[in-house]
Structure 1
């Protein structure tokens, strides 16, 4: 790999300055196994410095009028879009997703910044009718303080702005820790933020030791808010640690999303939407479909349509413009997918397509797995109860609306659910009955800046997107005023 990629983003951001360290962490392309770059191996000391910078910058930033904060955010969005091709290439090289998906993610990241630049101006307070003469009751909304942001590797650009944009728009200052697998895109995005001239210390970024960085964010009382996207297991651990200081948390955790297709659905529309969702980012999507519930009357025709579409996917290095699905993030992820498929086959599932590692034809150096469709799947198989997070589409047949609703709700997760029907009454019954934070009807796309993204049960707490996402970074202050 050229020096361009090995050294360009080898720094952190603390108090508006680039910080390098003698010890670094290598970043590898999951499609080739090659090193694409290095980042500093920061830890507790660097995180504490970043927290200090954010804490010292908070008074100035929080008191700045929202319209002035918006100027920096709008400039940031423009710079992201102006550099979308370079950013998309960087994203593909360290994460593996196809270049077209990476470009869409960069554009989506800019859209979140632009939306919150405007929404920050609408953090309205309230004037509540008083209980007695000469009394006035006011409710103010104020930024919570320093926010620690922890982002995942599957959408490493979009998740930076989905967290940083509302935090900054609300008047918070931030310390961001990107995932160890995909830190360079976060560093690059912060480069464009710094280029806006944003005051030093408002936005800080630390790469390196996840345990040390996370521990420092959780133990320091100056950090009043943590926003984390990742596994439920880690999220539960963060909740335990945050309890010591009653630190505010937003958690977007694991999912087990069902898609339900009823007999009256448009099967072509359903098949296309299911494949688009299920195999995006090689199936590594928190709100991605995990189980396909199909009514027994249409199971055969719909499965055939899905298999046909899956066989058309082109697998390989995401830098190839013809590739439509890249690799899994690493070998551990591939082994996990293999284990789920093996368990299902052992218990009677039939492989319609895929079901094996890809290790030839340009895929021999990366963590590739063939896009897979399984039929004859039963609910005793592990992949119906646990999050696969890979390119495997298990098809389960059902007979009644009541039955499939019960099946879907049995999971401890509650992030997203999807269903297809033309029956208006069923739309309301299912939308109200599904125990998930987000439900899509006759489609499988959910992430937009203006809507609250998040789950219930063990899929997390808090929301990203909409005015709800801004409120997650603000406190309510009640003021009781008696006029003299």
Structure 2
């Protein structure tokens, strides 16, 4: 028996399906180690979860907003105080350092607080009224019904949280499908919050995405799908949802550009932000820096100092307190990342690695890779044109502001970006020219987000928004009630 042999969560109960097949969950730091398992679900398990969610939805939506908020606040408190077993399970299944796994579990309470701290504002969003001598008009934002939430392996609790909080506050119920590469952390989170919510309000079905995720997206009882993941799977799910004329929010990753203008001071603070901005979670973050464009006058200095900073990186098992960067999460991602680096080198690029191995003797037992800087690289190389999702950063010089904007916009992605300059007005002007859902000035990453503002992408990065007012309204549909008559 492994430490984390877990069950599905359906209708307020832990549930094992009649089929006995289970999916083993391997530790990417020690690939031969199985740290847990989950049921390998099928379409009938999706049916069971959706039936529970359907039964619960009408009563849940019928509760006053304040009561739904009380339930969500209790869930937030439990998640914020979860014991270390949750973060440890997450680190062991997908590799990131324990401090990042703790942040993952702390993220939903932070997002939900935006709504919970201003219930009057939420009420105004959900019900708008206009009354004058012509009569009354009311616009009600009604819940869509049952939401299917499909979450990835890199930050699964955080990315479930940005869906769960607003969906529940709006009166929906949820059936979630975690990635088979990282289901344990999600189930530990549900274990913490489950009793705070009525049965059936939140359900979790585990299994291969091509089975349970596809069954969820195609199911007639799913009113909306909220998906975060890769573009290939996202497009497939979006086509299924569109064919049924149902709603969807899709965040499909980013190839996020950071642009350093010629007036930037290349000091330790800047270099540390850049190093963290691309290497956090081994580069496996949708909004991490994936491309760095540096004015030609600063190029050599930035490359040298960034390399020096990366020498401090210690790569190894994420549970080791001395480790600052863990392995890549799974074999598929590891092989893809390595192939992209190899292609870049074959095309003439220079790839330099930095940092040190925490345990050289066990290095080949995990999906480890030292952080790398890639220079002399063409824009059409995969490492530049695609989202690499690994700890390698291509650095490309530019001459003018106009060229920098064109380079930053030169991919099919548009999730996040950043502009760095000593002149805030100049940076602000250029930021408005970047085709990205979030463009920050002099910062990149977690510090550039605000739960009050919408998050999401354009172009191949998807559509729809999470967080903020927009993130709440995505989970509703507008009904107009009108008895207004013209005044003679």
Distance in structure 2 (CA, Å) of the matches to 1:323 and 1:119:
40
The answer for the alignment partner of 1:284 in structure 2 is: 284
Match of 1:467 in 2: 469
C-alpha distance in 1 between matches for 2:2 and 2:236: 38
- Residue 54 of structure 1 corresponds to which residue in structure 2? 53
SS where residue 465 of structure 2 aligns?
A: coil
Is residue 15 from structure 1 mapped to residue 14 from structure 2 by the alignment? no
Moved more, 139-148 or 210-219: 210-219
Deviation sequence 1:368-412 (CA, Å, 0-9, x none) = 111101222221322111111100011101110011111111211
Give the Cα separation in 2 of the matches to 1:31 and 1:288.
22
Closer, same or farther: CA 35–404 of 1 in aligned 2, 3 Å: same
Cα distance between partner residues in 2 of 1:382 and 1:107: 34
Partner of 1:27: 25
For the residue of structure 1 that corresponds to 2:360, the secondary structure is: coil
Q: Within 2, Cα distance between the matches of 1:356 and 1:277?
A: 19
Alpha-carbon distance between aligned partners in 2 of 1:110 and 1:371, rounded to the nearest angstrom: 31
Alignment partner of 1:70 is 2:69? yes
CA apart distance, 1:270: 2.6
Give the drift of 1:435: 0.7
- Cα distance, 1:55 vs. partner? 0.7
**C-alpha offsets along residues 3-61 of structure 1, whole Å, 9 cap, x if unaligned?**
46143xx2111111110132211111111111110111111001011111111111100
Normalized against structure 2, the TM-score is what?
0.93
- Distance in 2 (alpha carbons) for counterparts of 1:188 and 1:103: 12
How many angstroms does 1:455 deviate by?
0.5
5+ long unaligned stretches in structure 1 = none
Residue 170 of structure 2 aligns with which residue? 170
Paired position in structure 2 for 1:81: 80
Contact 2:214 2:237 in 1 (8 A): no
| 2:7 matches 1:5 | no
Distance in 1 (CA, whole Å) between partners of 2:352 and 2:214 is 46
Q: Do the aligned partners of 1:120 and 1:166 also contact (CA within 8 Å) in 2?
A: no
Worse-superposed segment, 345-354 or 322-331: 345-354
Secondary structure, in 3 states, of the residue corresponding to 2:3? Answer: helix
Say if 1:282 and 1:393 are closer, same or farther in 2 by CA, change over 3 A: same
Equivalent position of 2:322 in the other structure: 322
Which shifted more, 242-251 or 440-449? 440-449
Displacement after TM superposition at 1:84 (Å): 4.4
TM-superposed CA distance for 1:119, in Å, is 5.0
Distance 1:97 1:465 in 2: 24
Distance, in Å, in 1 between the alignment partners of 2:325 and 2:302 is: 22
* Cα separation, partners in 2 of 1:321 and 1:355, compared to 1, 3 Å: closer
Report Cα offsets for 1:91-140 as digits up to 9, x if no partner.
Answer: 1111110111111222223322333434555132222366xx54322111
Match of 1:453?
455
Asked if structure 2 preserves the Cα contact closer than 8 Å seen for 1:327 and 1:367, the reply is: yes
Alignment correspondent of 2:44: 45
SS at match of 1:403: helix
Question: Corresponding residue for 1:202?
Answer: 201
Asked if the contact 2:49/2:175 (under 8 Å) is kept, the reply is: yes
Residues 177-196 of structure 1: CA distance to partner in whole angstroms, max 9, x if unpaired? Answer: 00100101111111122222
Of 217-226 and 313-322, the range deviating more from structure 2 = 217-226
CA distance in structure 2 between the aligned counterparts of 1:86 and 1:331, rounded to whole angstroms: 24
Structure 2 residues without counterparts, runs of 5 or longer: none
Q: Matches of 1:247 and 1:441 in 2, distance apart?
A: 36
Secondary structure of the residue that 1:413 maps to in structure 2? Answer: coil
For 1:339 and 1:215, the matched residues in 2 are separated by: 28
Which residue does 2:384 correspond to in 1? 384
C-alpha change, 1:458 and 1:356, in structure 2 (3 Å) is farther
RMSD over aligned CA atoms reads: 2.0
